Amino acid sequence: MTRTDILMTGRMLPSVVEALNERFTLHRMWEAPDRDAFLREIGPRIRGIATSTMTGRADAAFLEYFPKLEIIASFGVGYDNVDAHEAARRGILVTNTPDVLNDEVADLTIGLLIATLRRIPQADRYLRDGKWLEAPFPLSPSLRSRKVGIVGLGRIGKAIARRLEGFGVEIVYHGRTRQENAPYAYHGSLVDMAQAVDVLIAITPGGAGTRHMIDGEVLKALGPSGVLINVARGSVVDEQALIEALREGTILAAGLDVFEDEPRVPQALIDMDNVVLLPHIASGSVHTRKAMGQLVVDNLVSWFSGKGPLTPVPETPYRQGAL
């Protein structure tokens, strides 16, 4: 029986590689010494792709290699690494890995918020440097009496909000539309919400539509006691405007898990003492990454078993019955 040809664009967990290798003829793009020659050779046979945000963008030029491509299974809840509209135009469906990472990302967001406000990494360095022997660590800001604005009240945004409820803080949100069943106040203007809150948490999807939506104007509205937490995409925040806002005291502090040009982080941010920086680890636990990888496998297996995709993205033609 002929096995279906699948392309993996970059390294994934060994469990994902093994599972796909058992069921399909798996081609590993990252092992090819000449990427273009490799894709020209195997492209006409490829019917499925396993990819992630860390392994390049699946745009129109990339999709040209694959005339028989049926499905792109992307690792991660965000899928701005795939031109989903172009894929839909070509009749290619796209899947992502939602829900299995909601709790992990929400937990990390709360941890990053507390670490940023209470200056936990700075306190750790203070002790390690022997400074506690000289004087107590300075008093930190607090989460008490703060108002939190969530930019993007999707699945993860709601999980973050539920955790914040336990801290007794007021929660509001901004998004493209008001959610009728949401128990939090809605702000149609991001600038207006920034003016009304002390903490801004970004958990909106990336892409052209949200690029630099948190800019100098929003940061100015957030104000000198304001804290920005970004667990969305680096592109959502104007990084240079953020650096200036932190440097000039326009806002108090920031906690960042994502950056515009990962893994390259501006030295200006690294040198600042009022920023907590993480290397894009919001979903980075063994448990959650395994679950995400398994969903990549399950989407491909389900599709090629004739059962349809498990988690198609909104742009995919499958939902409109075109496949």
Burial of 2 (0-12, 13-18, 19+ CB in 10 A): exposed
Q: b/e map of 273-291 (b: 16 or more CB within 10 Å)? A: eebbebebebbeeeebbeb
**Mean pLDDT computed over 66-78:** 95
Return the active site residues.
233, 262, 280
pLDDT at 323 over 90: no
Residue pair 77/95 in contact by the 8 Å Cβ criterion = no
Same fold, 5-100+287-320 and 102-277: yes
DSSP 8-state class, residue 189: -
The pLDDT value recorded for residue 55 is: 76
pLDDT at 14 over 70: yes
> DSSP secondary structure string, 102-162?
HHHHHHHHHHHHHHHHHTHHHHHHHHHTTGGGTSPPPP---STT-EEEEE--SHHHHHHHH
The pLDDT value recorded for residue 207 is: 87
Q: How far apart are CA 202 and CA 282, in angstroms?
A: 13
Strands (E), 59-100: 71-75, 93-95
Q: How far apart are CA 244 and CA 10, in angstroms?
A: 35
Structural domain boundaries of the chain?
Answer: 5-100+287-320, 102-277
**Mean pLDDT computed over 27-43:** 96
CB atoms within 10 A of CB 208: 7
- What band does 1 get if pLDDT is binned at 50, 70 and 90? low
The pLDDT value recorded for residue 53 is: 77
CATH assignment of 102-277? 3.40.50.720
- What band does 254 get if pLDDT is binned at 50, 70 and 90? very high
DSSP 8-state class, residue 30: G
State the chain's mean pLDDT as an integer: 95
- My answer on whether omega of the bond before 263 falls inside 30° of 0, hence cis, is yes
SS3 content of the chain, % helix, strand, coil (to 5): 40, 20, 40
Per-residue pLDDT reduced to its tens digit, 199-221 = 999 999 988 899 999 999 999 99
Give the bridge partners for 72, in sequence order.
49, 94
Please check whether the domain covering 5-100+287-320 is classified as CATH 3.40.50.300.
no
